[in-house]
Structure formats: C-alpha cells, structure tokens
Amino acid sequence: GAGVSQTPSNKVTEKGKYVELRCDPISGHTALYWYRQSLGQGPEFLIYFQGTGAADDSGLPNDRFFAVRPEGSVSTLKIQRTERGDSAVYLCASSLLGLAGRRITDTQYFGPGTRLTVL
C-alpha cells in the first residue's frame, strides 16, 4: 500500500525503559507530523518536520521526548525513561508540501498509530 505506515503497531514496555516508534510517510511527502492520542481525547500535536528539520516541536511534553527524520523520509519518535502517563496511541501523519503549500489543500494523511502501553 502507499499509505503512512507505523511500526510497531503495539508496544508494551516497563516504566523507565526507552522506546522508539517508527513512521514511514507517503513517498514524496515533505512534511511529517507526530500526534499523541490519549483515551477519550483527540490527537494532540507533538512535532512537525519540514524535510529533515523540525519546523515546530512545541508540542513535545518534555525533554524525554525526541524525534528525528535524518533523510527527510522515515521518522523515529524516541521516548526516554518512559512513564505510565506516556501510555497512548502515537499517530504519524504526512502531507505533500507542508509549509511550502496552501495549508487547506495540503491534506494530512494519518497512519494507523502505535499503541504504547507503559506498565
């Protein structure tokens, strides 16, 4: 398929451990977004990449969270010293143009998410 893919689909870890969540955006999409969805909530913005650079990381909750996109395609969200409150579905989305395009027509396409459970 040509959609956004995320791995793993489920991740169970213990409090204090380090986790990495991977996102493969749609080929050719320059913009990539990470959101987090807690139970009963809508997706909440974490970070946005335009190409390889983080254009906006204002949504990252603290310095335990970090994300990279070294080649402007695949992105990895990294969480250090996980806490139970980090348990959520982590969603990745990509769009064709990002800041280079007209926002309303630059649809964000979401992946299925990674469900992270911190015990």
**Binding region for other proteins (CB under 8 A):** 4, 31, 33, 35, 40-45, 48, 50, 55-56, 59, 91, 93, 98-99, 103-104, 107-113
Q: Which is nearer to other proteins, 35 or 65 (CB)?
A: 35
With 0-12 CB in 10 A as exposed, 13-18 as middle and 19+ as buried, what is 41? exposed
Task: Please give the Cα distance from 1 to 52 (Å, whole number).
Answer: 24
3-class SS of residue 87: coil
Residue 77 near residue 61 (C-beta atoms within 8 A): no
Please report how close the Cβ of residue 91 comes to other proteins at its closest, in angstroms.
Answer: 6
Please report how close the Cβ of residue 41 comes to other proteins at its closest, in angstroms.
Answer: 6
Q: Which is nearer to other proteins, 9 or 17 (CB)?
A: 9
Two structure tokens written together for 8: 């793993």
Task: Please give the Cα distance from 66 to 19 (Å, whole number).
Answer: 11
Please report how close the Cβ of residue 95 comes to other proteins at its closest, in angstroms.
Answer: 8
Two structure tokens written together for 12: 């169970």
Q: Which is nearer to other proteins, 73 or 111 (CB)?
A: 111
Q: Which is nearer to other proteins, 66 or 109 (CB)?
A: 109
Please report how close the Cβ of residue 102 comes to other proteins at its closest, in angstroms.
Answer: 9
